[in-house]
A and B are shown apart, each in its own frame.
Chain A
C-alpha cells in the first residue's frame, strides 16, 4: 500500500515544480495506471512513491509519502525501502548489469538470504513467468527490446517486493512485446501484488487497471475508476489518440506518367547467415504516404536502410530518385532521402537547436541556410526553442527536432522509423500533422510504425512485412 498526501517536489535547480500537490492512495493488490503527456510528472511521481526522491535526491519536498503505512522518512535507506518496493525504470539497458539472463536474475535472488534450494526454485519460476527460460545464457546486447524489458521485470520480481512500479514498460515495444509484458503483469496482479504503471497505451492495459490518474503539468487532472473517467473530454483526448483529418483523401496512388521515386527489385539482404530480407520488390510513387508495418525483427529497418545506402543489397537492386542506392555514397543519397531514426538521442551533439539543424544544411551545402532554418523550425513548432540545448527538450520536442534536422536537408523522400515511440496521443498527433503538411507540399513519406491505428488512420498505403517478405501491400481509397 502506498499513500501520497499533497506531495510537491522541485528538482535541484528546477525552475518549476515537477509534481504539485499530488494525493493518491493505492490499496494492496490494486493497479494504478498513470498517464499524461511527456513532461507531466509521471516519472517523478513514480520516484516519489518508491521513496527515491526522499533518499537519493535533493530539491524541495513537501507533503507526506507512506509505504505500507510507514513514512518514507522513517526508513533508514533506499535499500530498506527496496525490500518492499521494486521499480522498473524506462530505460532497460541501464538496469542490466550482468552478462547473461540467468546471472542478472540470480544477482537479485542471492541478496535475499534464501537457501540455495529456494534460489533455484524461484529462478526457475521467475524465468517461466517472464518467458525467459530459453534465453538463460543470452547476453543483454543480444536481447530484443521486449526481452530486455521482461528481464528487468524478472529481476525486479526476484527481489520479491509486494509493490512493483513500472515506468513506461512498453514504450519501445511492438504489439507482441506489449502483449507479453501485459500478460506478466496480469499474473502478478493475480498473485496479489500492488502495481503502479505509467503508460500511454490505455486501451491495451484496460483490463488490468483499477484506478487511473491523468497528469498534466505536474498535477493530477483526473483520478478515479477508468469507467467513471472515460466520459471526460480531457481524459479522452489523452488516452484515445485522435488522428481524424490527417488523411486528406487526395488520391496519390496513380501519379500520372511520373515514374516511381523508389524502385526496389528482388531485394535480398543477409547479415552473415541470417536472411533479413528474402526478395522484396516494391515501387513508391512521388507524393505517397506509405506505412510499413510488421513485428520487431521482420526486416522493416533493414529495408529502409537500403533506401539511403546505409546497407547495400546482397542481391537485387534499389533505385531512389534516379540514383542506384546499391552503389551511390550515402552523402549523395542524403540529397534525395532523409531518414529520421527511432531514437532522436542518437543524433544530437550540438549545443543549440539551431546548430543541430544547421549541421545537415552545411553538410549538403543547402542554399539560403538561415531561411531554411527558420522555415523548418516554424513548421515543426520549435521556433521558441531555437537557442535551447537539444537534450533538455521534452521527448515530443526532441522527436520533432529530429524531423526538423532531416527536413532542413530538403529531401524528396522522408523516411521515419517509429516516429511516435514514447509519445502520448497528442504528441503523436502533432508529429502526424507535420507529416500531413509535408505531404501536401508534395513530398513522399515512408513511415515504419508498430501502431496499426496510426497506419490505418493516417497513411494511404500500408505495406506489411513479415519474416523478410512483403505479406500485403494495400492502397486505401480516399
Chain B
C-alpha cells in the first residue's frame, strides 16, 4: 500500500534539522511562490525543492506525487483555457474555432500548476521528514493552541488507517456481490457502501479518542521534554540563507511597487 504523508525514519539532512527551521523554510518558499508571477523563477524554485528532496533522501516519495500533480495541471490548464481566454490565439481545442488556446490562459494555467506543485512538494518534504511529536511540540512552542496541534496530528496519523479500512470495506462489499464497475462511474457508485461504514466507524472512535487525550493530560498537564531539540549549526545556516533570500525577494517587490 502507498502511504500518504507519513513520517519515514531516516538519518538524512532534513530529518536532522530542527522542526522550527523547516517550518520557516516551508513558509518562506510558500510566500515567494505565492507572490511571484514569474514562471522562470517558479521553475527555479521547483528545481530547488526537488534538489531538497534529493538531499533529504525522500525523492522517491516525492516523485510518487507526480501523477497527482500532472492530473492537476491538466485540469488547471483546461479550466484556465475555458474561463480566462486572453492574449494571442495559438489554435483551437475543438477544430472549427471552438475553445481557443490563448497565451494568457496557458500562462495562468502553468502558473497555477507550478505554485501547487511547489507547495505540495515542500509541505510533503516537511511532513515526511519530521517526527509528529517534534512537530506538535514545536507548534505548541510557537503558540499554536494544543487542540489545533492535536487535530493536525490525528489527521496525519489516521490517513493510513483509513486507507487500510477502506480497502477492507470495499472487499466486504465486493463479497456481497456488489459490482460497481471500474472507472469514474464505478467510483461514484461505490461511494455509499464504502463511505458510510468508513465514516460511521471513524465517528464511533471519536469518543474513545477524546477520552484518551484527556486521560493522558495533553490539554492540562505541562510537558517536560525528553529530548530538547536545539538549533544546530545547519539550522542556523539554513535560517540565515533562507532569511536573506526572503528579504532580498520582498525588497525587490517593494521596490517595484514604488
Chain A interfacial positions (CB closer than 8 Å to B) = 52, 56, 77-79, 82, 86-87, 89, 91, 93-100, 103, 106-116, 119-120, 123, 137, 139-141, 155, 159, 305, 308, 310, 329-331, 334-335, 338-339, 341, 343, 345-349, 359-360, 363-364, 391, 405-406, 409
Cα A96 to Cα B153 in complex, Å, equals 11
The 8 Å CB contact of A360, one of B150, B176, B214, is B176
Least CB separation from A356: chain B residue: B176
B131 touches A141 (CB 8 A): no
- Give 18 A-B pairs besides A89-B211, A107-B133, A346-B168 with Cβ atoms closer than 8 angstroms: A79-B215, A79-B217, A94-B205, A95-B212, A97-B150, A98-B132, A98-B157, A111-B218, A111-B221, A111-B224, A116-B224, A116-B226, A155-B216, A331-B177, A334-B174, A339-B175, A349-B193, A391-B204
Cα A363 to Cα B181 in complex, Å, equals 13
B154 at the interface (CB under 8 A from A): yes
Max count, chain A CB within 10 A of own CB: residue among B172, B173, B201: B172
Chain A neighbourhood of B175, CB < 8 A: 308, 310, 330, 334, 338-339, 341, 406
Whether the pair B217, A347 counts as a contact (CB closer than 8 A) is no
Does B148 count as interface, using CB distance less than 8 angstroms?
A: no
Which 9 A-B pairs have CB atoms at the shortest separation, nearest pair first? Answer: A363-B177, A349-B196, A331-B179, A94-B205, A334-B177, A94-B208, A82-B215, A111-B221, A141-B160
Given the complex, which residues of B lie within 8 Å of A406, measured CB to CB?
A: 175-176
CB distance A86 to B133 under 8 Å?
A: no
Contact partner, B179, options A112, A329, A345, A409, Cβ 8 Å: A329
- The residues in B between 188 and 219 inclusive whose CB is less than 8 angstroms from any CB of A are 192-193, 196-197, 200-201, 204-206, 208-209, 211-219
Is B208 within 8 A of A341, CB to CB?
no
Query: How big is the B interface, by class?
Result: 35 or more
Question: What CA separation (Å) do A113 and B227 show in the bound complex?
Answer: 14
> Which residues of chain B come closer than 8 Å to A95, judged between CB atoms?
208-209, 212
Number of A-B contacts (CB under 8 A): 172
7 A–B contacts, CB within 8 A, in A order: A100-B9, A111-B217, A113-B224, A141-B161, A330-B174, A341-B171, A347-B172
Identity of the chain A residue whose Cβ is nearest the Cβ of B215 in the assembled complex: A82
Q: 8 Å CB contacts to A: which residues of B121-135?
A: 131-133
Encoded as 1 (CB less than 8 Å from any A CB) or 0, chain B from 148 to 183 comes to 001001101100110011001101111111110000
Contacts of A391 in B (CB 8 A): 200, 204
Instruction: Answer whether A363 and B179 are a contact pair too, CB < 8 Å, given A110-B225, A137-B9.
Output: yes
| Structural contact, B209 and A140, CB atoms closer than 8 A | no
Closest-CB distance, A57 to chain B (whole angstroms): 10
Q: Are B221 and A56 in contact (CB under 8 A)?
A: no
Alpha-carbon gap, A360 to B153, bound state (A):
38
Of A106, A329, A359, which one neighbours B133 at CB under 8 angstroms?
A106
Chain B residues at the A interface, C-beta cutoff of 8 Å: 3, 6-7, 9, 131-133, 150, 153-154, 156-157, 160-161, 164-165, 168-169, 171-179, 192-193, 196-197, 200-201, 204-206, 208-209, 211-228
Contact of B174 among A77, A86, A310, A335 (CB under 8 A): A310
Q: How far is the CB of B173 from chain A (nearest CB, A)?
A: 7
A391 to B196, CA, bound (A): 12
Expressed in whole angstroms, the minimum distance between the Cβ of A463 and any Cβ of chain B is 21
Instruction: Tell me the bound Cα distance from A214 to B168 in angstroms.
Output: 35
Partner of B168, one of A56, A116, A341, A409: A341
Contact residue among A110, A139, A339 (Cβ-Cβ distance under 8 Å from B223): A110
Query: Do residues A345 and B197 form an inter-chain contact, with CB atoms below 8 A?
Result: yes
Given contacts A103-B132, A106-B226, A139-B6, contact A347 B212 (CB under 8 A): no
Taking a contact as CB atoms under 8 Å apart, the answer to whether A363 and B176 are in contact is yes
**Contact status B196-A334, CB under 8 Å:** no
List chain A residues, Cβ under 8 A from B131.
Answer: 99-100, 103
Instruction: Report the Cα distance A99→B228, complex, angstroms.
Output: 19
| Residues of chain A within 8 A of B217, CB atoms compared | 79, 82, 111, 159
Measured CB to CB, the closest approach of chain B to A175, in angstroms, equals: 23
